[in-house]
A and B are shown apart, each in its own frame.
Chain A
Amino acid sequence: MIQEIPITHVLVLSSFLFFCGICGFIIRRNLITLLMAVELILNAVSINFVVFNKYLFPHQMEGLFFALFVIGIAAAEAAVAIALIINVYRRLGSIQVEDVAEMKY
């Protein structure tokens, strides 16, 4: 069962996912890919919630609920983000992140 896996393994996994997300967010140029990177970050956080809940407070469920919340909000956020990206594409004709630089000094 899950108790046989040490917590560090799972945490290493979530950290790996998290930094993959950060790295992708910083170095990729396509807005869709950026969105996917953000999803990775969110999933890493969800894993952390579930794991800490299971290992530290097995009789409570707040962590699980939070994970569910994160999944729900991520879905909503994806819808908003894609709508934004579509509008950016219509306006600028590109979804390359360096082209979206209107909001500067």
Chain B
Amino acid sequence: MNLSFVVLIFILPLLVFAVLGLAGMYLRPRLAGLLATGITGIVFLLSLLTAWIYFRLPVHSAGIYQPVIPVSFEWLRFSDRLVATLGILLDPVAVMMLVVVSFVSLMVHWYSLGYMQGEKGFQRYYAFLSLFTFSMMSLVVATNLVQMYIFWELVGISSYLLIGFYYTRPAAIAAAKKAFIVTRFADLGFLIGILLLSYYAGTFDFGLIVGNHASSVGVVSSSFAGLKVVEWAMLLVFMGAAGKSAMFPLHIWLPDAMEGPTPVSALIHAATMVVAGVYLIARMFPVYYFHAPAVLSLIAYTGAFTSLFAAIIACTQTDIKRVLAFSTLSQIGYMMLSLGVSGYGQQDSAGYTASLFHLFTHAMFKSLLFLAAGAVIHAVHENSILRMGGLRKYMPSTHLAFLVGCLAIAGIPFFSGFYSKEEILIAAWEHHKALFFVAWLVAGLTAFYMFRLYFTVFWGRDRYYHHPVNEAPRSMRIPLLVLSFISIVAGYVPFGRYVSAAGHFSETHFYPGIAIASVTIALIGILIAMKMYARPNAFPEKLTKKMGLFYVAACNRFYIDEGYLFITKKIIFNPIAHTVAWVDRHVVDGMVNAIAKITEEIAFRIRKMQGGQVQEYGLIMAASATGLALLLIYLATN
């Protein structure tokens, strides 16, 4: 079957972006929103169709899914071998991502019809959403590193534009700039990694790099500071991935990115863009596994640390969206951990499958949680959970949706999060016991902070609200309903049959012991949260007093932001940047100014020669010509 219709998936959102970006102000907001939503719906259907056709292509045999490239053209030719192409690469991971991105994007488009109603710049909002959808969809089907880098930057810029959507709020502008600068800094590493890798492998193409060309990278023996070239390259690529996926210590932008509209946080900063780093590592996984195992362990440790670190902070935050942001950090840390402990091959690649499975389920339940949180914020006009409570009576369907999301992320059986988290824990148990215990602990913390949020917002003390609190409008409730349903059933997808490291069938094991352990700790977390927050009591305050400094530090996000500020302001800006500025102002500019001054002075002196007397000019000209003639004659005769 011909797959070239796949191009439409990318052209349609781009067209919507162009139309809404150029002519959006002439459209009625409602029409613009419906147009973008409708097109995204078509894109989602096309993605489903693509998946349907792809998994039935005749080139696959014996459960091995071959990558297919239906569209590809040469874009830039650097040398005979080094060519940057633009194309569409379909393999199980890419197809899965296409479906996930288009689905969450559709839900967010739909939801925003209600959430953003009456906002200034409604059309602009939808234009940016379409730009993001286009870039993200193109990112996941990139055939080579250059194409991926281009769209990697494009999702970055769409994220920047959407975080700063409320551009009259200084906090939003600061957050947008922070997100852009931090990820840009990480992308610098990514770019250098791409250049290193492509220089030694002689190709940008994913298929060739992870295939036989990888060996040509591996045998390059030149090393720098104790690491081989390929290890450096992969480390730098991981730096880019860590920036986009907000891994410690480059995580500081994600909590601040919550300044953007809530549906944007659901789409970009929970479900799709932030997992691009995981996706990138998964794409390059064979290279990591065979040629840079040290970097792979680093990925595992970074993921484990980030998940624990973010989970601890999430327990102390009071802004509903920030809790969810730290929870996202923690879950992405899970995915990285799982990739890091994965093996390659038929039996061993459980971690790889588990990571992408968790990516899949997490996209569903985390966007559900964000959208439900958005409905709450929409209703009470407030972000702080300290001023919320007892909302279950006012917003029953939002309450249910939020509960489903919490149960899914906490890993309660029969909800999707249970199955994917289970596989991650199994993979960790099989490869690295210490990391397993970290992940297990994080599972308990996750359950605790999510249910802390749930009980504080929907149970607890009834608050006084300045205006009547109403249930969200229908355009917001329906996406919540759909996502709740998907969050329950997504775990039953036989994921390992489709996605695995070597394209093989991957059997998913089931360890009852691990399942019992993880469910137990999740239940303990939920019970503690219930005891502490379901009814107003004095226990949480006593506990925070007892924790003392640790609590204060966690509350202030362990002062990482302050550390960055200290390094940038006190160390980089003051001594270095000021010196450089002084040199620029006084030496570089000084030289240019001096040249201008000297020229001016000379010109001022010699301008008297132009006296306006024609005969003077004539005399000088004749005398000079005579002089020159005499000189030439003299030179010619000697």
Binding site for B on A (CB under 8 A): 22, 25-27, 34, 97-98, 100-105
Q: Is residue B575 within 8 Å, beta carbon to beta carbon, of the partner chain? A: no
Do residues B607 and A26 form an inter-chain contact, with CB atoms below 8 A? Answer: no
- Tell me how far the C-beta of B523 lies from the nearest C-beta in chain A, rounded to whole angstroms: 95
- Tell me how far the C-beta of B484 lies from the nearest C-beta in chain A, rounded to whole angstroms: 85
| Chain A residue contacts of B608, Cβ below 8 A | 105
| Chain B residue contacts of A100, Cβ below 8 A | 612, 614
The docked-state distance in angstroms from the alpha carbon of A104 to that of B614 is 10
The 8 closest A-B pairs by CB, nearest first: A104-B612, A101-B612, A105-B607, A105-B610, A26-B619, A22-B622, A25-B618, A103-B612
* Residue of B608, B611, B615, B622 ringed by the most chain A CB atoms within 10 A: B615
Which of these, B611, B618, B622, contacts A101 with CB under 8 Å?
B611
The docked-state distance in angstroms from the alpha carbon of A44 to that of B251 is 89
The docked-state distance in angstroms from the alpha carbon of A84 to that of B451 is 98
| Chain B residue contacts of A27, Cβ below 8 A | 615
List 29 A-B pairs, Cβ < 8 Å: A22-B618, A22-B622, A25-B615, A25-B618, A25-B622, A26-B615, A26-B618, A26-B619, A26-B622, A27-B615, A34-B614, A97-B613, A97-B614, A97-B615, A98-B613, A98-B615, A100-B612, A100-B614, A101-B611, A101-B612, A101-B613, A102-B612, A103-B612, A104-B610, A104-B611, A104-B612, A105-B607, A105-B608, A105-B611
- Tell me how far the C-beta of B633 lies from the nearest C-beta in chain A, rounded to whole angstroms: 14
- Tell me how far the C-beta of B343 lies from the nearest C-beta in chain A, rounded to whole angstroms: 85
Binding site for A on B (CB under 8 A): 607-608, 610-615, 618-619, 622
The docked-state distance in angstroms from the alpha carbon of A26 to that of B614 is 9
- Tell me how far the C-beta of B448 lies from the nearest C-beta in chain A, rounded to whole angstroms: 86
The docked-state distance in angstroms from the alpha carbon of A24 to that of B638 is 34
| Chain A residue contacts of B622, Cβ below 8 A | 22, 25-26
| Chain A residue contacts of B619, Cβ below 8 A | 26
The docked-state distance in angstroms from the alpha carbon of A42 to that of B618 is 15
- Tell me how far the C-beta of B614 lies from the nearest C-beta in chain A, rounded to whole angstroms: 6
Residue of A nearest to B622 (CB): A22
The docked-state distance in angstroms from the alpha carbon of A90 to that of B622 is 30
- Tell me how far the C-beta of B357 lies from the nearest C-beta in chain A, rounded to whole angstroms: 83
Residue of A nearest to B603 (CB): A105
The docked-state distance in angstroms from the alpha carbon of A38 to that of B610 is 22
Residue of A nearest to B626 (CB): A22
| Chain B residue contacts of A98, Cβ below 8 A | 613, 615
Residue of A nearest to B604 (CB): A105
- Tell me how far the C-beta of B605 lies from the nearest C-beta in chain A, rounded to whole angstroms: 11
Residue of B nearest to A25 (CB): B618
| Chain A residue contacts of B610, Cβ below 8 A | 104-105
Residue of A nearest to B625 (CB): A22
* Residue of A26, A101, A102 ringed by the most chain B CB atoms within 10 A: A26
- Tell me how far the C-beta of B488 lies from the nearest C-beta in chain A, rounded to whole angstroms: 89
- Tell me how far the C-beta of A57 lies from the nearest C-beta in chain B, rounded to whole angstroms: 23
The docked-state distance in angstroms from the alpha carbon of A59 to that of B613 is 45
Residue of B nearest to A102 (CB): B612
The docked-state distance in angstroms from the alpha carbon of A27 to that of B613 is 12
| Chain A residue contacts of B613, Cβ below 8 A | 97-98, 101
